């Protein structure tokens, strides 16, 4: 069978480890698929053809020698452009890092390679993860595989598009304010943002250090659990990674959710929510209720401030994190500068795109003397209130259910000239990042025009097991199988 690209990561791993197929055959199937469809989609910025086949051959050699193979043996994956890899380049889809080769692998990269995953290459993103549509990439445009005139979401748009178009079995993205969950909803795949600290950020090029988390985009929930087993864990090189014992996230899959309390926050079911999205999210709620879950109303009263808080905290952290990209040691340097200050100004003006410049200036402003207390300090206080809202809500329920996005994927260019309109696209996802809790987006059907719709489940910090159990229960009992788009 040559269509291994149609299979889930779990099915691929079982077939490779069991000797039904070689890792090379699987890798070849995916590489052929990339050759056939990615010109239309534009998910990949780099395809590592020879290296992927060499990794696959190494897995086959291990099996032939009778050695134990890893949890992702032979599974073809893609990595977002901001996850450091010694192979290829790590550009964050920005001109300022064009040609940059990382001297080390991110912890997540190391773990994936150690567990015998096959890395097909890197995928596109909004520059430095700043955006909700992947239109801010300095490299190329990425299309939504379900409708090539529409965006795949962002900033992990390339990751979602690669999974949806079956050009990777799993992709690893990052989520700062919804950057895994929103593209997952737009492209009809599963996207999991782990609890802050669950996965090491070492080797993840930082956007906003108190918000960023690496997570998987997959075809189904079991694959997400499988991926989490590999990438989670304490890392001494990341001071923010949590020191918790290893957990098997597949363990509770299949367990009943009878008696589980699912909270619907009234602040998320507002007029801004599209009618088609609302109807499908309500239908998803009914599926879980039919499986024995108890539906309760909860309140998250400070939700209305989440977008404002996020767009103070995230740019403030970005302005500090991106100061290092100055053209001195690596990356792009403007050739025509007469002195050092001119070199800084010209390099940053030409190296960073418009959205990145906008956020750096916004972040520098809110941190500046005289404005710090009025903006940044106040935003941090409201962030605490948002976190407390979730603490209170979880006293009344085990899981919170919300829409992932207010609408389906919008057309390219539709929101490019209105940053505020673009920012509001993350209205339902941002709060989870501010509170540091885990969230997962799942497909719950398609709109009348055939575009995927997603809904979101949130749980207490470090309770990904219950989150995945609930998501898997929905997936098993809902009649939602989007399949692979016709490209």
The mean pLDDT value for 318-329 works out to: 91
Which tokens is 137 given? Answer: 């990439």
Instruction: Report strand pairing: 294-298 vs 261-265.
Output: parallel
Q: Name the least confident of 103-112, 166-175, 415-424.
A: 415-424
Q: How far apart are CA 313 and CA 311, in angstroms?
A: 6
Indicate if the pLDDT at residue 168 is higher than 60.
yes
Reply yes or no on whether the pLDDT at 297 is more than 70.
yes
Nearest C-alpha neighbor of 205 from the set 119, 317, 111, 292: 317
Residue 253, both tokens? 């899959």
Cβ-Cβ contacts under 8 Å for 363 (sequence gap 6 or more) = 314, 315, 316, 317, 318, 319, 320
Active site residue 179: yes
pLDDT at 418 over 90: no
Q: How sure is the predictor about 199, in pLDDT bands with cuts at 50, 70 and 90?
A: very high
What are the sequence ranges of the domains in the chain?
4-244+463-477
Kindly indicate the confidence band of residue 266, based on its pLDDT and cuts at 50, 70 and 90. Answer: very high
Q: Across residues 468-480, what is the average pLDDT?
A: 96
Asked if residue 205 lies in contact with residue 96, where contact means CB atoms within 8 angstroms, the answer is no
DSSP three-state, residue 215: strand
What's the mean per-residue pLDDT of the chain? Answer: 96
Region for 472 from its dihedrals, namely left if φ exceeds 0, alpha if ψ lies in -120 to 50, beta otherwise: alpha
User: Using CA atoms, how far apart are residues 188 and 197, in angstroms rounded to an integer?
Assistant: 27
Q: Which of 102, 143, 162, 179 is catalytic?
A: 179
- Of the candidate CATH numbers 3.90.1300.10, 1.10.630.10, 3.40.50.1110, 3.60.15.10, the domain formed by 4-244+463-477 belongs to 3.90.1300.10
Distance between start and end Cα atoms, the chain: 20
Taking the C-alpha atoms of residue 158 and residue 165, their distance in angstroms, rounded to an integer, is 10
Cα(81)–Cα(365) distance, rounded to whole angstroms? 28
Among residues 44, 70, 14, the alpha carbon closest in space to that of 166 is found at: 44
- Considering only residues 116 and 337, tell me which one the structure prediction assigns the higher pLDDT: 116
Question: Tens digits of per-residue pLDDT, 48-77?
Answer: 999 999 999 999 999 999 999 999 999 999
Residues in the chain: 487
* pLDDT value at residue 100: 94
Is 67 catalytic? The answer is no
| Separation between Cα atoms, residue 82 and residue 147, nearest integer Å | 26
Going by C-alpha positions, the residue among 98, 93, 180 that lies closest to residue 136 is: 93
| Catalytic residue from among 7, 62, 78, 80 | 80
Question: pLDDT grade, residue 16 (50/70/90)?
Answer: very high
What are the two backbone dihedrals, phi and then psi, of residue 182, each rounded to the nearest 5 degrees? -65, -50
Percent of the chain with pLDDT over 90: 92
In whole angstroms, give the CA distance from residue 214 to residue 191.
11
Question: Could you tell me whether strands 118-123 and 44-47 are parallel, antiparallel, or unpaired per DSSP bridges?
Answer: antiparallel
Higher pLDDT, 415 or 198: 198
Please report the pLDDT score of residue 208 as a whole number.
95
Q: Catalytic pick from 155, 165, 200, 319?
A: 155
* 3-state SS assignment for residue 121: strand
Once rounded to an integer, what is the mean pLDDT over residues 478-487?
A: 93
Question: How many other β-carbons are positioned within 10 Å of the β-carbon of residue 39?
Answer: 10
Predicted local confidence at residue 425, as pLDDT: 83
* DSSP type of residue 321: H
Helices (H), 368-416: 378-396
pLDDT digits (tens, 9 = 90+) for 329-340: 888 999 988 899
- In the chain, the largest separation of any two C-alpha atoms, in whole Å, equals 70
Binned at pLDDT 50, 70 and 90, residue 240 comes out as very high
Structure-block tokens of residue 302: 């400070």
Q: What tokens appear for 304 in the block?
A: 């209305």
126 touches 138 (CB < 8 A):
no
| pLDDT cut 70: percent of the chain above it | 100
- What is the per-residue pLDDT for 1? 53
């Amino acid at each position: 069978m040559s269509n291994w690209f149609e299979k889930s990561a779990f099915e691929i791993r079982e077939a490779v480890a069991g000797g039904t197929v070689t890792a090379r055959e699987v890798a070849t199937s995916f590489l052929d698929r990339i050759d056939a469809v990615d010109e239309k989609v534009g998910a990949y910025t780099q395809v590592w053809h020879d290296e992927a086949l060499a990794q696959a051959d190494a897995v086959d050699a291990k099996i032939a020698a009778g050695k134990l193979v890893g949890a992702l043996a032979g599974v073809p994956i893609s990595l977002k452009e901001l996850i450091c890899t010694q192979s290829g380049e790590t550009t964050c889809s920005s001109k300022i890092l064009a040609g940059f080769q990382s001297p080390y692998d991110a912890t997540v990269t190391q773990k994936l390679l150690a567990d015998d995953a096959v890395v097909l290459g890197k995928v596109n993103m909004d520059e430095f993860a700043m955006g909700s549509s992947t239109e801010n990439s300095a490299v190329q445009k990425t299309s939504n595989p379900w409708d090539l005139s529409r965006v795949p979401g962002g900033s992990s748009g390339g990751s979602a598009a690669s999974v949806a178009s079956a050009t990777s079995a799993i992709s690893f993205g990052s989520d700062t304010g919804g950057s895994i969950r929103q593209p997952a909803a737009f492209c009809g795949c599963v996207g999991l943002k782990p609890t802050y600290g669950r996965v090491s950020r070492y080797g993840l090029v930082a956007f906003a250090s108190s918000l960023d988390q690496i997570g998987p985009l997959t075809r189904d929930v079991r694959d997400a659990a499988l991926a989490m087993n590999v990438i989670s864990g304490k890392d001494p090189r990341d001071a923010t990674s949590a020191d918790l014992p290893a957990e098997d996230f597949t363990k509770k899959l299949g367990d009943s959710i009878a008696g589980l309390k699912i909270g619907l926050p009234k602040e998320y079911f507002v007029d801004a929510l599209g009618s088609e999205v609302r109807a499908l999210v309500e239908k998803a709620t009914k599926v879980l209720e039919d499986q024995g879950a108890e539906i309760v109303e909860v309140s998250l009263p400070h939700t209305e401030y989440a977008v404002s808080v996020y767009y103070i905290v995230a740019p403030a952290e970005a302005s500090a994190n991106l100061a290092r990209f100055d053209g001195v040691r690596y990356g792009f340097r403007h050739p025509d500068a007469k002195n050092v200050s001119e070199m800084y100004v010209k390099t940053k003006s030409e190296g960073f795109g418009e959205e990145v410049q906008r956020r750096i200036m916004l972040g520098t402003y809110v941190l500046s003397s005289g404005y710090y207390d009025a903006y940044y300090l106040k935003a941090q206080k409201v962030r605490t209130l948002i976190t407390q809202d979730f603490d209170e809500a979880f006293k009344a329920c085990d899981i919170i259910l919300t829409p992932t996005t207010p609408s389906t994927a919008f057309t390219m260019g539709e929101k490019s000239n209105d940053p505020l309109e673009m920012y509001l696209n993350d209205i339902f996802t941002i709060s989870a990042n501010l509170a540091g809790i885990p969230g997962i987006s799942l497909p719950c059907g398609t709109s009348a025009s055939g575009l995927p719709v997603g809904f979101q489940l949130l749980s207490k910090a470090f309770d990904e097991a219950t989150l995945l159990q609930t998501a898997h229960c929905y997936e098993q009992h809902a009649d939602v199988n989007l399949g692979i788009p016709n490209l």
